[in-house]
Amino acid sequence: MAPAACHYDAVASTSASAGALLRHVRTGRARSRAELVALTGASRNTVSARVDQLIAAKLLEEGGRGWSTGGRPPTLLRFNSEAGCALAVDLGVTSVDVAVTDLSARILATVGHPIDIADGPGVVLAEVDRLAQLVLAEAGLAPADVCAVGVGLPGPVEFSTGRPSHPPIMPGWHDYPIPSAFGRYDCPVYVDNDVNVMALGEMGIAGSVQDVLVVKVGTGIGCGVIVDGRVYRGAQGSAGDIGHIYVQPADGRTVLCRCGNENCLEAIAGGGALLRDAIAAGLPVSTTREVVELAAQGDGSALELVRNAGRTIGTVLAALVNFFNPHRIVMTGGVAQAGAPLLAGIREAVYGRSMPLAARALEITVSDAPDLSGRVGAALMAIEEFLDEDSVVETLAR
């Protein structure tokens, strides 16, 4: 076995399992049997036999001929993204979006509906079930076509079991076996917190090997940690919970956080904090969205509040940049829609406080499609697990 290469060479791993071959074709790294042989170092016979299995399972298909480098031109391979579909569920506090996608996370049909997450799992998941049947019917698909289900929800989740763990704003959901609500689909169900799911959505299907922090600033503040293009969840699944990191506000005040500690990041710079400070400053607002809109219209006090929130978030991100040295930071969530003034505060703090080597090529951007990334991410989570190396080997064995 060859020694592990530097992580940017990880795609040229020695694995030539059917799942690994499928991944190379899906991500565009190989387009023919010959390229798969070159990429994996496996024998031509091994690659051909596994490709035939993948074609028989309808996951790969042959199409067209490539350029010849002497001799017969190679038959091109492509991923059959219509071999099945995924159900994507993006659960929020006051609404849910359900989508059915093909196996490249292209949305085929989607529907959204208001809910109250505090109604508990029985009521909310019954509504999700109804919406899922609706989108499947609209896309002309049957429950048997669903290969995997992905669910994102606004609270901590034990990923291995799909059970929420003491979610602070979801009464009645603690330890609820969410996968059991999708029994009619007879397929695996994956559940994760909304921030990790959005992070996957931001990365897209291409399987980039970048290291990225996806920071959601809504009522709370959370961070999806992407290492080599994959979500890093940590030992118990709570990696990236940056909302409760201690910060020292510029004005020296002390603020109690809903977690019981003082001066947590989200108690100083989250959406709730922004609204509280805006009301205290006499602004005519009753929701965080209104503060964000005022800032967008150029209101001086609202701009200053958003910019200060950006600076506070930026001091925490500067520490994370020094520690993690990401390629990119992507801001998302309701407060991130304030765009320029929030980014200005964040950039000022991050570039001012990070080490030059880590900050030199760092990109900080706002999500292009924050409303879509929850659904696309939930679909990608389900698809990536369904087409994971071991799962593909199991699928082919059946």
The smaller minimum CB distance to Zn ion, of residues 181 and 242, is found at 242
- Residue with Cβ nearer Zn ion (247 or 380): 247
Q: Is 259 in the site for Zn ion (CB under 5 A)?
A: yes
- How many chain residues touch Zn ion (CB under 5 A)? 5
All residues at 6 or more sequence positions from 194 whose CB lies less than 8 Å from its CB, including other chains: 90, 91, 92, 152, 153, 154, 216, 222, 374
C-beta closer to Zn ion: residue 206 or 259 = 259
Give the CA dihedral 322, 325, 326, 330, nearest 10 degrees.
Answer: 10
In the numeric block, the tokens 């429950």 are attached to 143
Q: Which stretch binds Zn ion (CB under 5 A): 65-73, 160-168, 209-217, 243-251?
A: 243-251
Residue type (1 letter), 197: V
Among 153, 189, 198, 264, binds Zn ion (CB under 5 A): 264
Q: Select 110 or 263, whichever has its Cβ closest to Zn ion.
A: 263
d(CA 238, CA 232): 9
Nearest distance in Å: CB 221, Zn ion: 10
H-type helices in the chain, by residue range? 18-26, 33-40, 44-56, 121-138, 194-203, 265-269, 271-280, 288-296, 300-324, 340-353, 356-359, 370-386, 389-397
CA distance 233 to 230: 9
Pick between residue 244 and residue 307 the one whose CB is nearest to Zn ion: 244
Cβ 257 to Zn ion, closest distance in Å?
A: 3
- 124: contact with Zn ion by CB under 5 A: no
**Least separation in angstroms between CB 93 and Zn ion:** 18
The b/e string for 116-137 (b: 16+ C-beta within 10 A; e otherwise) is: ebeeebeebbebbbebbebbbe
In the bound state with Zn ion, the residue whose beta carbon lies nearer, of 247 and 349, is 247
User: 144 vs 259, which CB is nearer to Zn ion?
Assistant: 259
18 scored as a contact of Zn ion (CB under 5 A): no
Phi then psi for residue 335, to 5 deg, are -70, -30
Minimum distance, C-beta of residue 250 to Zn ion, in the bound complex (Å): 19
Q: Does 265 bind Zn ion (CB under 5 A)?
A: no
Residue of 37, 257, 269, 313 that binds Zn ion (CB under 5 A): 257
Which one of 227-235, 249-257, 309-317, 321-329 is the stretch in contact with Zn ion (CB under 5 A)? 249-257
222 is a contact residue toward Zn ion (CB under 5 A) = no
In this complex, which beta carbon is closest to Zn ion, that of residue 273 or of residue 329? 273
Q: How far is the CB of 259 from Zn ion (least distance, A)?
A: 3
Contact yes or no for 389/164 (Cβ under 8 A)? no
* Interacting residues of 268 by C-beta distance below 8 A, sequence separation 6+: 247, 249, 255, 309, 312
Q: How many CB atoms lie within 10 A of CB 58?
A: 11
Work out which of 244, 328, 347, 375 binds Zn ion, going by CB under 5 A: 244
Q: In terms of DSSP bridges, do strands 163-164 and 189-193 run parallel, antiparallel, or are they unpaired?
A: unpaired
Please tell me whether residue 309 binds Zn ion under the rule CB under 5 A.
Answer: no
Give me the residues that bind Zn ion (CB under 5 A), please: 244, 257, 259, 261, 264
